[in-house]
Amino acid sequence: GSSFSFSGLAANVDTQPPAFKKDDSKPFSWSGAGQKLFNQEEGQEDGEEVTQGDDPHFEPVVPLPDLVEVKTGEEDFEKLFSHRAKLFRYDKDTNQWKEKGIGEMKILRHNGTGQYRLLLRREQVYKLACNQWLTPDLKFQPMSTSETAWCWVGQDFSDNEAKLEQLAVKFKSIELAKEFKDKIDECQKNLIENPPTVLAEPQQSGTTSQESPEEEHGSDDKDDDEEEDDDDEYDDVEEILLEKRVTFQMMEGNQWQNKGTGVLRVIYDDDVNANKVTFTTDKKEDLCNHLIAMESIINLDKSKHFCEWHPIDFATDEPIRRGFRAVFSSVPAAEEFYKSFQQGRTLARDSEISERDMEPRELLVPEVHGRGANDD
């Protein structure tokens, strides 16, 4: 057999052409240097925009729904009056004024029909508290215990069905109350002179056969006690139920981000008869401000003494669902906040505070009724 030797291998290498060989008569260059990597049409200068080839198009695996425009129901109405006010409803069973909420009291005029509408939505929850047609027969009476409030009886559609309500609206100043009444008088005068095109006859709200709340119950009733606010400017009633120093975290990009230390509070908000949670950093930055709704869920981790919840938050201009985590100094402190949060859920059920009402939705326009409230 043949035998292998290094000397024979070396002899063969000498007879093979070298893999890399430098030509001393030419400067060194890489093979293919200077050639264009991409074809370019003649006359096309360097730096000009290159025409792209076919743009690949991919259909989504899951078809996306069409964008839905959120409407408030006020698009066809002109705003004639809008000021913050507090609305009350008279409860005949208890002979007491019950607060319905605080919000913008609006007088609206329909651009097409010329109808007028009274509207008030509760702040933050956007739930309707007043939704009525303004008709010539509505009679507004001043409240005997306040110079900044007006009372009337009318068919209200806040709950999507007609209901005869005795209402009172109270403003912060005498000037605003007067401006409201002047605008009411102006609108009712226009309704008489130029009846709306839709209404064949004025809506009968029952005010012609029933007295106003003030006339019906008189000044010797419990008005002075029932009207908690005095004749001066009303103040938002907020009672601090719990206050704790915590380390606060927020969910950002599926990760918990530490936002520093500050004060976490549970506050009773008289505006909506509900509890809310706020957090303010030591640098006076408000990072959390939301109502506790009936759907709100909170989790307690005793091993790390923190609470976690994901509400619809109003700390920014627009309501948005956020994840919050508060780390307490001890387990009892975390348990105290957890208990207070659960009490807020109970109050939310009693007040019908729902997350469904915390975003603007289309408002139902009151139906037109040409018959009296007491007609069969």
Average pLDDT, the chain: 77
Q: Is the pLDDT of residue 327 over 80?
A: yes
Q: Is the pLDDT of residue 230 over 50?
A: no
Query: For residue 98, what are the contacts with CB-CB under 8 A and spacing of at least 6?
Result: 88, 89, 90, 91
Q: What is the pLDDT of residue 222?
A: 42
Closest CA to 132 of 113, 159, 111, 98: 159
Shared fold status for 77-226 and 238-357: yes
194 vs 277, residue with greater confidence: 277
Q: pLDDT tens digits, residue range 106-151? A: 999 999 899 999 999 988 778 889 999 999 999 999 987 889 999 9
322 vs 63, residue with greater confidence: 322
Query: For residue 239, what are the contacts with CB-CB under 8 A and spacing of at least 6?
Result: 267, 268, 270
Residue 358 carries which DSSP code? S
3-state secondary structure of 169: strand
Exposure string of 236-268, with b = 16+ CB inside 10 Å and e = fewer, is: eeeeeebebebbbbbeeeeeeeebeebebbbbb
Q: pLDDT tens digits, residue range 150-163? A: 999 999 998 878 88
Q: What is the pLDDT of residue 275?
A: 92
DSSP per position, 178-242: HHHHHHHHHHHHHHHHS--SS-SS----STTTS--HHHHH-TTSSHHHH--S-SS-----EEEEE
Contact 140, 181 (CB under 8 A): yes
* 332 CB-contact burial (10 Å; exposed 0-12 / middle 13-18 / buried 19+): exposed
Q: What is the pLDDT of residue 228?
A: 45
The vertex-110 CA angle with 114 and 361, nearest 5°, equals 160
Q: What is the pLDDT of residue 63?
A: 61
How would you classify the pairing of strands 77-91 and 96-110? antiparallel
Residue 350 backbone class (left: φ over 0; alpha: ψ -120 to 50; beta: rest): alpha
Q: Tell me if the domain spanning 238-357 has CATH number 2.30.29.30.
A: yes
Alpha helices (H) in 109-173, listed in sequence order:
none
Instruction: Tell me which of 96-100, 119-123, 239-243 is least confident.
Output: 96-100
3-state secondary structure of 68: coil
Closest CA to 133 of 362, 371, 367: 367
Q: Is the pLDDT of residue 233 over 80?
A: no
Q: pLDDT tens digits, residue range 280-292? A: 999 999 999 999 9
CATH architecture of 77-226: Roll (2.30)
Closest CA to 177 of 158, 216, 151, 154: 151
Taking the domains of the chain in order of start, what are their residue ranges?
Answer: 77-226, 238-357
How far apart are alpha carbons 351 and 347 in whole angstroms?
6
